[in-house]
């Protein structure tokens, strides 16, 4: 009997994905606002997703808890998920919150503070957000005005640094004035407006003590760049039952390094991306956002180069790479490119 148990354990170990220390983070904007299909999820889709998480015993954590596990190098339990919402639109309160509250699911809202302060009818009020905080919400930084944060053509480095620092620090100040001094601390989370950033922006964010969060798809975990954490967008087209469950079954691809790390194109287009893996992975396939397949060339058993057949079209696109991980799981990595 003991030998049988040992053998069964070996089979389980061999068939389990090697890298399971990651979590899936979903990103939402609007709920039941069908006029905005590119940023909206229908209420039927959202209900399906929440029901699925509950029925299948997923662990729904605030994003801050997952990030702290990554920082502290703690193990993230399997089937861990975070639900994040950008901008603080009013449908978060009227449509999403009652559904989240009924499930007792925590969630993370990235707030653009100026529209809230200006009492825009399209955004939640501070009072509504405080009610949500009592019901499981945490609030994080999504800038003061939601402007594009990349340097403008005529902007000096000094002017850009001053503008971006104000966008981040003033929004953080308003969050802490309306909630508490400990709001969005340990860790400080910042979601890039439009998901856009460059390495200069990432370095400034690091200097100011923030973790950067993008709109580039993929799980997060021990291999994540803490200035560019990825999330799976859940707008209508991607929020189908199959689309949702396929993202739930992803694992972080064990990537040691990528080159170039700068997402803003300044040279050849289409760009060539070199990926170095921490462990060997077979059958990697890569695609552009349109679904067009990208050429994959193996340089060594742990290193690949990929380059699209067509240029990146402004304003942005992605190279997304996947590979089977066993047990119906998929390794997933997505790399942002910004073309101006």
Least confident of 2-6, 77-81, 153-157, 177-181: 2-6
Residue 8 falls inside a structural domain: no
Concatenate the DSSP letters of all residues of 287-320 into one string: EETTS-EEEEEEEETTEEEEE-SSPPPSSEEEEE
Residue 120 falls inside a structural domain: yes
- Among 201, 221, 252, residue at a domain's last position: 252
Tell me the average pLDDT across 269-286.
Answer: 96
Residue 218 falls inside a structural domain: yes
Residue 331 falls inside a structural domain: yes
Residue 2 falls inside a structural domain: no
What is the pLDDT, as a whole number, of residue 8?
A: 39
SS3 content of the chain, % helix, strand, coil (to 5): 30, 30, 40
Please answer whether residues 249 and 272 qualify as being in contact, where contact means their C-beta atoms are separated by less than 8 angstroms: no
Q: What is the CATH number of the domain that holds 103?
A: 3.20.20.370
What is the pLDDT, as a whole number, of residue 79?
A: 97
Longest alpha-carbon distance in the chain: 74
Tell me the average pLDDT across 286-310.
Answer: 96
Query: Which DSSP symbol is given to 271?
Result: P
Please answer whether residues 301 and 280 qualify as being in contact, where contact means their C-beta atoms are separated by less than 8 angstroms: yes
Confidence class for position 340, pLDDT limits 50, 70, 90: confident
Residue 3 falls inside a structural domain: no
Question: Are residues 157 and 231 located together in one domain of the fold?
Answer: yes
Alpha-carbon distances, residue 241 vs 44, 53, 245, 270, 322 (angstroms): 10, 12, 6, 33, 19
Per-residue pLDDT tens over the stretch 38-47: 999 999 999 9
What is the pLDDT, as a whole number, of residue 307?
A: 96
For the beta carbon of residue 281, count every other beta carbon within 10 angstroms.
Answer: 21
- Count up the domains in the chain and report the number: 2
What is the pLDDT, as a whole number, of residue 173?
A: 98
Percent of the chain predicted with pLDDT > 70 = 94
Residue 6 falls inside a structural domain: no
What is the pLDDT, as a whole number, of residue 150?
A: 96
Q: Which residue in this structure is represented by tokens 């966008």?
A: 167
Tell me the average pLDDT across 297-305.
Answer: 97
- Among 217, 252, 287, residue at a domain's last position: 252
Confidence class for position 52, pLDDT limits 50, 70, 90: very high
Per-residue pLDDT tens over the stretch 102-149: 999 999 999 999 999 999 999 999 999 999 999 999 999 999 999 999
Residue 244 falls inside a structural domain: yes
Tell me the average pLDDT across 279-303.
Answer: 96
Give the residue numbers spanning the domain of 179: 19-252
What is the pLDDT, as a whole number, of residue 20?
A: 58
Indicate if the pLDDT at residue 10 is higher than 80: no
Per-residue pLDDT tens over the stretch 20-37: 589 999 999 999 999 999
- Among 252, 285, 302, residue at a domain's last position: 252
Per-residue pLDDT tens over the stretch 144-180: 999 999 999 999 999 999 999 999 999 999 999 999 9
Tell me the average pLDDT across 314-321.
Answer: 97
Tell me the average pLDDT across 215-237.
Answer: 97
Question: Are residues 173 and 24 located together in one domain of the fold?
Answer: yes
Q: What is the CATH number of the domain that holds 325?
A: 2.60.40.1220
Question: Are residues 41 and 102 located together in one domain of the fold?
Answer: yes
């Amino acid at each position: 009997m003991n030998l049988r148990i040992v053998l069964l354990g070996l089979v389980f170990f061999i068939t389990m994905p090697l890298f399971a220390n990651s979590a899936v983070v979903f990103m939402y904007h609007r709920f039941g606002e069908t006029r905005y299909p590119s940023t909206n999820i229908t209420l039927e889709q959202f209900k399906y997703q929440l029901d699925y998480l509950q029925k299948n015993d997923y662990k729904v954590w605030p994003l801050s808890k997952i990030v702290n596990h990554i920082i502290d190098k703690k193990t993230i339990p399997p089937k861990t998920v975070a639900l994040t919402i950008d901008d603080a639109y009013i449908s978060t309160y009227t449509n999403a919150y009652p559904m989240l509250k009924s499930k007792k699911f925590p969630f993370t809202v990235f707030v653009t503070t100026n529209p809230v302060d200006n009492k825009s009818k399209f955004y939640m009020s501070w009072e509504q957000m405080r009610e949500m905080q009592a019901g499981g919400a945490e609030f994080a930084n999504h800038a003061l005005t939601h402007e594009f944060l990349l340097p403008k053509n005529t902007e000096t480095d000094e002017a850009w640094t001053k503008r971006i620092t104000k966008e981040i620090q003033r929004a953080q100040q308003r969050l802490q004035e309306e909630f508490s001094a400990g709001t969005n601390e340990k860790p400080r989370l910042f979601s890039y407006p439009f998901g856009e950033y460059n390495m200069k922006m990432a370095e400034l964010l690091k200097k100011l003590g923030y973790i950067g969060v993008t709109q580039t798809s993929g799980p997060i975990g021990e291999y994540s760049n803490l200035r560019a954490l990825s999330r799976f967008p859940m707008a209508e087209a991607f929020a189908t039952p199959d689309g949702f469950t396929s993202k739930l079954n992803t694992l972080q691809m064990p990537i040691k390094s990528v080159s170039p790390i700068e997402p803003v194109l300044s040279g050849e287009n289409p760009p060539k991306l070199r990926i170095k893996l921490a462990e060997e992975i077979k059958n990697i396939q890569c695609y552009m956002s349109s679904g067009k397949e990208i050429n994959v060339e193996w340089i060594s058993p742990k290193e690949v180069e990929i380059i699209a057949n067509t240029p990146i079209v402004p304003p942005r696109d992605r190279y997304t790479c996947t590979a089977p991980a066993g047990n119906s799981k998929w390794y997933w990595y997505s790399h942002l490119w910004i073309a101006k």
